Amino acid sequence: MTIKVPYITKWSAEESAPARVLALPSGIGYADETLGDRDSHGVLWSRGASTLGIGKPQFGQVHTPRQRRAMRKLLCQVCAGPADQADDGVLWLLKDHRDDWPGWPNRMAVTEPPVCKPCAQLSIQLCPALRRGHVLVRARVCPIVGVRGIQYRLRFSTLIADEPEVVPFDSARIRWTLAAQLVRELSECTIGES
Ligand SMILES: [Zn+2]
């Protein structure tokens, strides 16, 4: 069986030294920033090469522009075709966390783009983490709500990088976030066959 590399997986030739981030009066920026570095919310996005298929796939690492494109357009994260959509919503393949809160996964922020049906079946067969427990979820409503990215803060005028977090667009921290992934929030969910 050939192993299919998901569309959103980063390849080794796409590894690059991170661009230098500066502290501005009201958040972070690049020294040589251009218009394309920010989205329509004014959020700064991490930079990187796009050379899909060159080198080795870095399984578990996500390529920012492809994740962003798949999430924005609701493309399958594996094949980049349209994700499966039906009357009860868009199809998502999630690790099973039904015990986390009543009504899970409603109100959950997701960074993994949706899937199409054939890729969902294939992923369940091939991915050990999913084999241990997964659910197929339909979400009728799944707006783009924010980003996931490294959090920056000033400490005695030195810029410190903290761990990545999910930050909503309406948070004051969004100006101090270097976005790496686009986030949608699931609601009106139906848990399907698992
Ligand atoms: Zn697919």
What is the residue-level pLDDT of the chain in tens, covering all 194 positions? 456 899 999 999 998 877 899 999 899 999 999 999 999 999 999 998 899 999 999 988 999 999 999 999 999 999 999 999 999 999 999 999 999 999 999 999 999 999 999 999 998 888 887 878 899 999 999 999 999 999 999 999 899 999 999 999 999 999 999 999 999 999 999 998 65
> Distance from the CA of 86 to the center of ligand 1, in angstroms?
15
Q: Sign (positive/negative) of CA torsion 117, 7, 70, 170?
A: positive
> Distance from the CA of 93 to the center of ligand 1, in angstroms?
11
Q: What is the pTM of this model?
A: 0.93
> Distance from the CA of 80 to the center of ligand 1, in angstroms?
6
Q: Is residue 125 part of a domain?
A: yes
> Distance from the CA of 82 to the center of ligand 1, in angstroms?
7
- Which domain covers residue 95, as residue numbers? 9-14+23-145+181-191
CA angle, 177 then 140 then 63, to 5°: 35
> Distance from the CA of 55 to the center of ligand 1, in angstroms?
22
Q: Is residue 4 part of a domain?
A: no
CA-based max dimension of the chain: 55
Q: Is residue 176 part of a domain?
A: no
Burial of 1 per CB tally in 10 Å (0-12, 13-18, 19+): exposed
> Distance from the CA of 76 to the center of ligand 1, in angstroms?
5
Q: Is residue 160 part of a domain?
A: no
Q: Is residue 98 part of a domain?
A: yes
Which residues sit opposite 62 in a β-bridge? 9
When divided into structural domains, the chain yields a total of 1
